[in-house]
Structure 1
């Protein structure tokens, strides 16, 4: 069962864990207390830091997440954030965005297959915008061997991936650093794009829906993504199939603006049909399970 399906079938993870608290083991109870009292700490800290805060071993933190049928801590934290979105989170509780490290780990093989499939689209591009998402970072790895292009990005992770690729002209707009996302954000990003034009923008998304369009966890990111779309002739979206069932939050683009979506073969049939009916081109990556990080 995917992270999204797990979240949808269970509602709020925090509520479930709070209900379970009296029956949990001593170690799991301490971890639950950290999560319930300080969800931001659980979302943003390393496993080592969570274990130290709860006074338990690091394997106990992993076992706690697996107790709720997740593969590990990254999957659990993604589902935690998404469950809070799905329940329209308590207004008194600040929204918690997953870190880029957690996003990159979850569904990694599918994301790598999608990124590899998308490379065929760059032939007509002389200038590109890349967002800061984890799938786009895998896509940027393929650009290391591509001929020279002008590339603008808000992603510090993308800059790191393209470091030393002197054939490219790589541009960063101004902005404020979002450390967990390893990206720039803010009005300065939008101002930088106002008088610029690019061939294609390559987006990831936290959620994609045939009716609602593309959305993301972070409101500032949604504003700058809309500016990126307005500065580009063509819009391409790279998403693994789990994003089609994710709850939406901050919308930044309608489906009618999208030229091509690159995803994997697990895209739900009804959604695939709906997207094709709306004139969206689809590229389907065949994930074999053999992808790996080199």
Structure 2
């Protein structure tokens, strides 16, 4: 008997949803796709993992077995699952910056994905993103207008990048852009491992009234080869720990504010529904 023949209708539906997402997905976006609770998704994932059909990771799952080059692997979800409590606290602070009916940009960063989930408490947003995950969480919810940017799909981050993505992003005017980074340097500002990601952040900051960077403190000690926008274009940095002396001094010189996501701020705004 094949594995698929022994699965329930709900388990088969979740496998199909993972396939549509490219082989992997977070519990929150799977819940939206299947119109069930996240608890139901977690129970279904647990059952599928016992059957050997998926691999469980913190916050989601990915399909097991042979993978095509276009499907993200476990490393993608390791990034998504790192420091979840810290990212929830950062998201809670970031959402306070966003009011109903604003036009916002969210990138493909793992911390940004937590912001997207918290933004389900807002209404009538115009959301522009290059992230499949963000689009799945916020589309068709609370009167949102969701724009998924075109371009070349990069499976590692399940997002679009390249000249087409940058051109489409530059057609908007953002009240606020929420960005992540692979590293933050007191000399150069935001740094990225991928040149196309750095280019997109420059296109976005050029048309944003305010730019908010969300990242855990681990990025303060990292480095990467590609520079992002001029640090003077940034407005606010939100993290789970205070930056060191050098970065703090640099933020002051750049005119960038800092907000600490303390443990007391872990509670997210209540989700509002239509």
> Fold match, TM over 0.5?
yes
- Give the ranges of 4+ consecutive aligned residues of structure 1 lying more than 6 Å apart after TM superposition: 288-292
SS at match of 1:140: helix
Larger Rg: 1
Are the structure 2 counterparts of residues 233 and 288 from structure 1 closer, same or farther at C-alpha, using a change threshold of 3 Å?
A: closer
- List runs of 5+ in structure 2 lacking aligned partners: 1-22, 25-56, 59-72, 269-274
Normalising by structure 1, report the TM-score.
0.62
Task: Write the distance in 1 (CA, Å) between the matches of 2:173 and 2:201.
Answer: 14
SS at match of 2:128: strand
1:123 Cα deviation (Å)?
A: 2.8
Residues 120-158 of structure 1 show CA distances to partners (whole Å, capped at 9, x for unaligned) of 111387101110110000001111111211010000011
Are the structure 2 counterparts of residues 125 and 239 from structure 1 closer, same or farther at C-alpha, using a change threshold of 3 Å?
A: farther
Are the structure 2 counterparts of residues 179 and 291 from structure 1 closer, same or farther at C-alpha, using a change threshold of 3 Å?
A: farther
Which residue among 132, 136, 141 is the counterpart of 2:117?
141
Are the structure 2 counterparts of residues 118 and 136 from structure 1 closer, same or farther at C-alpha, using a change threshold of 3 Å?
A: same
RMSD over equivalenced CA pairs, Å: 2.8
The reply on whether 1:286 has 2:262 as its aligned counterpart is yes
SS at match of 1:208: strand
Partner of 2:51: none
Partner of 1:206: 182
Are the structure 2 counterparts of residues 98 and 267 from structure 1 closer, same or farther at C-alpha, using a change threshold of 3 Å?
A: farther
Partner of 1:242: 218
Contact residue 130 and residue 153 of structure 1 kept, 8 A? yes
Partner of 2:207: 231
Normalising by structure 2, report the TM-score.
0.66
Partner of 2:158: 182
Task: Write the distance in 2 (CA, Å) between the matches of 1:123 and 1:289.
Answer: 18
Are the structure 2 counterparts of residues 286 and 207 from structure 1 closer, same or farther at C-alpha, using a change threshold of 3 Å?
A: same
Contact residue 126 and residue 150 of structure 1 kept, 8 A? yes
Are the structure 2 counterparts of residues 206 and 155 from structure 1 closer, same or farther at C-alpha, using a change threshold of 3 Å?
A: same
Partner of 1:61: none
Are the structure 2 counterparts of residues 224 and 274 from structure 1 closer, same or farther at C-alpha, using a change threshold of 3 Å?
A: closer
Correspondences of 1:103-118 after superposition (within 5 Å): 103-118=79-94
Are the structure 2 counterparts of residues 124 and 248 from structure 1 closer, same or farther at C-alpha, using a change threshold of 3 Å?
A: farther
Contact residue 211 and residue 255 of structure 1 kept, 8 A? no
The reply on whether 1:161 has 2:137 as its aligned counterpart is yes
Contact residue 99 and residue 181 of structure 1 kept, 8 A? no
